[in-house]
Amino acid sequence: MQLHGWGRYPRSNSDLLEPPSQESVLEIFSNEKISGPMIVRGGGRSYGDSSLATTVLSSRFLDSFLEIDPTNGVIRCGAGVTMESLLRVVIPHGFFVPVLPGTKYVSVGGAIAADIHGKNHHRDGSFCDHIERFSLLLASGEILECGAEKNSNAFHATCGGMGLTGVILEATLKLEKVPSVSIKRQSTAVANLEECMELIEDNENSKHSVAWVDCLAQGEELGRSVLHLAEYSEVGSQDFKTRMGPSVPFSSPAFLLNKYTTRLFNNSLYSLRKRSISTKIVNYDAYFFPLDNIRNWNRLYGRKGFIQYQLVLPSDSARSGLKEVLKLVSDSGRGSFISVLKKFGEANQNLLSFPTAGYTLTLDFKQEASVFPLLQKLDEIVLAHNGKLYLAKDSRMSEDVFKASYDSWENFLEIKNELDPQCRFASLQSNRLGLT
């Protein structure tokens, strides 16, 4: 069947296996039913081709909750459990997931494979920093119990390793105790990128921090933004919530998304927030997962899909580098209405994890032939400033760019070859990047 990531580009004709249980997964490997390379797919929310291959193994039925320890705030669950299901279970106990991505439909296994980050990386690190252990099924059929101290090489290669070391079967996650799951959000419109980054630095103790950036603004308004700072409200709801908004029923005509409609949207949004600083108590679902309320929003970019481009630049060159990026994008007129800026804290020990101390910017581009030269120019800026691109969002990075920016790729490959000597786990992305 034809599969694609959330960006709907590229697409792959794949054999999709959906084993109904962990025992069925083990049987696939014990009987050597798959001869060629394969990759595991969780919620399908990576944007590019990291979960695409000739054979794709779905983990969606590895969705059991195995154990919860309310006293110590620890939960053990299958790799196919989604963030939404996880929240449904832990919130009534007074806990919250310590790191959340921008969608609740990511699986636990996928969160580990991509070592996802949230709006609080500067305070709490990435998802895998809160993983106590996980079970990893190797191509040989052996199951490794992995943690920061036990089978640590496999642990640090698998966390952020995009599914290339084996199948994550289950994981144990340390939860966070919160006073409520209501969010106290302060939103402030700022005139340009310089002011936005200064405000982020001034509020570095804020629990959650994220800025929407108008990437079509120019001149003195380059990088004008709306910064959202947030904390858990001391008084508020302790109930699981989910929203069910409208759905985009079909792919929008691609011509509707252009620099004029994007500029109109960006101007309107900025004007709404410019009037004053606003502080509101909002539902956690609305704060962490704003786009989930529009089902199939990826169809807005048209039938050909879109490319999400997420970069990180280290602290010492982030300001100058981001100005170069935004000027190039603004001058091209190809900016999107979903552009996000966040601050990262220190990197962890995971070999292919994305976050490093600095700033990350996310941009969306409608997939069309004329956008690729722009992306190559952005690559050059990222490399010139010692930055890198996020593998979970990537769909077109070259092998040269990857190997120039990920310093530990050779160490990763050495561990992968030990765990998977026949290279049974491979994706379209890993082939493109020279990892398989």
* Residue pointed to by tokens 């050495």: 414
CB 79 within 8 A of CB 176: no
pTM: 0.95
Higher pLDDT, 264 or 333: 333
Calculate the alpha carbon distances from 129 to 9, 59, 115, 167, 221 in Å: 30, 22, 9, 19, 37
Kindly indicate the confidence band of residue 417, based on its pLDDT and cuts at 50, 70 and 90: very high
Q: How far is CA 133 from the centre of its chain?
A: 21
CB 40 within 8 A of CB 108: no
Round the average pLDDT of the chain to a whole number and report it. 93
Distance CA 345, CA 347 (A): 7
CB 55 within 8 A of CB 403: no
- Mean pLDDT, residues 89-114 taken together: 97
Domains of the chain: 182-396 (3.30.70.2520)
Q: What is the DSSP letter of 159?
A: T
How much of the chain, in percent, has pLDDT values that exceed 90? 83
Kindly indicate the confidence band of residue 85, based on its pLDDT and cuts at 50, 70 and 90: very high
User: Phi first, then psi: what are they for 84, rounded to 5°?
Assistant: -60, -45
Smallest CA-to-CA distance from 159 within 357, 408, 433 is with 408
pLDDT at 269: 65
CB 136 within 8 A of CB 143: yes
pLDDT tens, residue by residue, 346-364: 999 999 999 999 999 999 9
CB 222 within 8 A of CB 192: yes
**Which residues have a Cβ under 8 Å from the Cβ of 239 and sit 6 or more positions away?**
91, 92, 181
pLDDT > 80? residue 265: no
> In terms of C-beta density within 10 A (0-12 exposed, 13-18 middle, 19 or more buried), how is residue 35 classed?
exposed
- Mean pLDDT, residues 39-50 taken together: 97
* Residue pointed to by tokens 């101390």: 357
pLDDT > 70? residue 38: yes
- Mean pLDDT, residues 112-118 taken together: 98
Number of Cβ within a 10 Å radius of residue 140: 14
